[in-house]
Structure 1
Amino acid sequence: MDTKIVKVLDSRREDGFGKKRKRAASYAAYVTGVSYAKLQDVPPPNPQSQVPDKRRKLEGAYESLSGKSLVRYYSYFKKTGIAKRVMIYEKGVWNDLPDHVICTIRDELNEKRAAIEFEWCGHHFLLDFLHMHRLDLETGAKTPLAWIDIGGKCFFPEIYESDERN
């Protein structure tokens, strides 16, 4: 197992602006023997697995919570008055929560809690006003959440096509 030390001359070329260009020939000395065999064992990249997660923004309002959107949703929550109407986005339509659900969580709404847990139709849910979604506590499914406060101000998240499929 003799290791050969190969001295490679500097074959860099510079264009008129002084930028260095990398040439394939300068890397040929490094791709020999064992390292080359290891490179051959790696499967070629799958172009479909490298497709970025592109989501088309729809006219409503809900986005994967990046830092900016979470800050925006927090400012919505701080600006809002007491919620008069609470709506859930399902199957492409904003639907109001039933009045009996609103009546049962009225005290929590008056306290302006960021998250309110309630039961409806035998399921346990969490209304997360900070992240602007309803969380099904049994399945983990998230549904966009919006509200209108007693002053008439509307607070809607951003809706994306991926939320349409839910």
Structure 2
Amino acid sequence: MPLEIITLPCLSDNYAYLLHDAKSGQTALVDAPEAAAVKSALSTRGWGLDAILLTHHHYDHIDGVDELRRSYGAKVYGAKPDTHRLPPLDHALDYGARFELFGEEFQVLDVSGHTIGHIAFFLPESQAVFTADSLMALGCGRLFEGTPDMMWDSLNRLMALPPQTMVYSGHEYTQSNARFAVTIEPDN
């Protein structure tokens, strides 16, 4: 049975995601923009928190990690190449790594571009990919550290995923991305 995925709006326009396995009762979190929204959602559902999966080092994706780790004892997963900028990791993941949580395989994709060391988590069984700031509705993340070639390679890597894959991004930028797209291609 695929994981239950709960979208958590955080801060002003961020998303975090709870991944819950009903069979084991275990829960993971993708990115931790803030602790309060996550703790509230967990409390409402009567869930604990077993793992925190980090996509990249920006504050609006990691600020809640320390409090959540203290409150729940969750293990933290993140990109090995970015360990120097992430909260302390229990599991430093190489690009291309595969690991199992709750009986489901997680694949680590290099999606550098927005930042160097940015990763996405692909779950083939649940047909989901958590892209954070590498891919969003009608756009991709700004290039703060990476190059256009890096971002293009990352977007092609994501495009190669099965077509039924649901994309879970790190922000709600749809309206602003649509406004920008219309300025570039007003007749599209």
Judging by fraction of residues, say which structure has more strand: 2
Higher-RCO chain (CA-CA 8 Å, sequence separation at least 6): 1
Bigger radius of gyration: 1
Band the TM-score falls in, shorter-chain normalisation: under 0.3
- Normalised by the size of structure 1, how large is the TM-score? 0.23
TM-score, structure 2 normalization = 0.22
